[in-house]
């Protein structure tokens, strides 16, 4: 989801950029004038294919968007292989090639019992997914772990909140009034990362990127209205979870000007292709 949006965002600017994909290049769609060079046939479980792409690109900055969500089809071994072991192996290559490494982490490293969370708060996720993502955060002078949460359009089999909500047209669903997030939309995060690279504002460490706080109930209401879904959303008091992130102070003023939820959802609506 985020990787696809990054390809689009970097393809629109004058930065020499490379992307790894599993499918043939002809299967990719987007701006015909995109400046992206693709390395196709790259699989996360085939680290040799990924390391070759990084070495051939001679990249100054590597952004890792590869991740596996918790699901019935993904074993705990697979979660740790992709979410924990893979970023550490990428980090080693970046260290050898003097590349900066931006690793996309998640608010899921936290339990949600003690939010909102600051950069220095220790992960306390009780589940294998959150633990695997926390284990993939690396402390090194060339690594930026960026914790965030996002919604947006997906390629292939869609499993996120955005796709789920759009699939509930005319249904009655529950909206959690006590589940809070500081998510952003994937296009907004992608453009933010482009500006980070353009302005050379990389700093090592573990940082948070946070949008306006919102409950899952409010978010579903906004999607329902914007996409005219006709959903009846019943407020649910349980469960309770607060994974709000307190935004990092490392970004300059221009990077801090993030859009409102109404603006982000309107962008999704205008660009959504059913």
Q: Identify whether the C-beta of residue 40 lies closer than 8 Å to the C-beta of residue 24.
A: yes
Q: Identify whether the C-beta of residue 9 lies closer than 8 Å to the C-beta of residue 28.
A: no
In sequence order, the 6+-apart residues with CB closer than 8 A to the CB of 88 are 136, 138
Confidence of residue 135 (pLDDT cuts 50, 70, 90): very high
H/E element, 18 = strand 17-20
DSSP secondary-structure letter at 245? B
Average pLDDT, the chain: 91
Domains of the chain are 2-155+185-210+244-252 (3.40.50.720)
* Whole-number pLDDT of residue 110: 98
* Whole-number pLDDT of residue 70: 80
Asked if residue 143 has pLDDT above 60, the reply is: yes
pLDDT above 90: percentage of residues in the chain:
80
Average pLDDT over residues 43-67: 94
Confidence of residue 251 (pLDDT cuts 50, 70, 90): low
Q: Identify whether the C-beta of residue 258 lies closer than 8 Å to the C-beta of residue 196.
A: no
Confidence of residue 95 (pLDDT cuts 50, 70, 90): very high
Asked if residue 232 has pLDDT above 50, the reply is: yes
Q: How many whole angstroms separate alpha carbon 178 and alpha carbon 18?
A: 41
Q: Which one is predicted more confidently, 248 or 126?
A: 126
pLDDT tens track for 68-91: 888 777 889 999 999 999 999 999
* Whole-number pLDDT of residue 78: 93
Asked if residue 234 has pLDDT above 80, the reply is: yes
pLDDT tens track for 8-30: 999 999 999 999 998 765 444 44
Q: What is the largest CA-CA distance in the chain?
A: 54
Q: How many whole angstroms separate alpha carbon 80 and alpha carbon 69?
A: 11
Q: How many whole angstroms separate alpha carbon 44 and alpha carbon 153?
A: 21
The pair of three-digit structure tokens given for residue 221, joined into one six-digit string = 């209401």
**Residue closest to 192 by CA, chosen among 264, 151, 251:** 251
pTM for this predicted structure: 0.93
pLDDT tens track for 144-195: 999 999 999 887 666 789 999 999 999 999 999 999 999 999 999 999 999 9
Confidence of residue 258 (pLDDT cuts 50, 70, 90): confident
């Amino acid at each position: 989801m985020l990787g696809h949006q990054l390809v689009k965002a970097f393809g629109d600017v004058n930065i020499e950029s490379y992307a790894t994909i599993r499918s043939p290049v002809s299967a990719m769609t987007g701006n015909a004038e995109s400046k992206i060079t693709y390395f196709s046939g790259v699989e996360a479980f085939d680290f040799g294919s990924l390391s070759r792409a990084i070495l051939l690109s001679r990249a100054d900055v590597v952004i890792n968007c590869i991740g596996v969500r918790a699901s019935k089809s993904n074993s705990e071994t697979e979660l740790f292989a992709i979410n924990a072991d893979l970023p550490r192996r990428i980090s080693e290559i970046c260290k050898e090639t003097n590349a900066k490494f931006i690793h996309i982490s998640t608010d899921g490293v936290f339990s949600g019992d003690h939010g909102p969370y600051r950069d220095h708060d220790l992960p306390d996720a009780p589940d294998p997914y959150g633990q695997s993502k926390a284990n993939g955060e690396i402390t090194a002078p060339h690594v930026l772990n960026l914790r965030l949460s996002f919604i947006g359009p997906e390629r292939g089999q869609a499993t996120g909140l955005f796709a789920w909500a759009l699939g509930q047209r005319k249904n009655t669903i529950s909206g959690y009034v006590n589940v809070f997030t500081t998510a952003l939309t994937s296009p907004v995060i992608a453009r933010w990362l482009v500006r980070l690279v353009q302005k050379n504002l990389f700093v090592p460490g573990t940082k948070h990127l946070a949008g306006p706080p919102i409950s899952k109930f409010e978010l579903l209401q906004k999607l329902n209205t914007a996409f005219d879904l006709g959903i009846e959303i019943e407020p649910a008091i349980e469960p309770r979870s607060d994974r709000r992130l307190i935004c990092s102070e490392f970004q300059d003023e221009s990077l801090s000007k993030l859009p409102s939820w109404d603006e982000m959802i309107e962008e999704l609506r205008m660009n959504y292709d059913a």
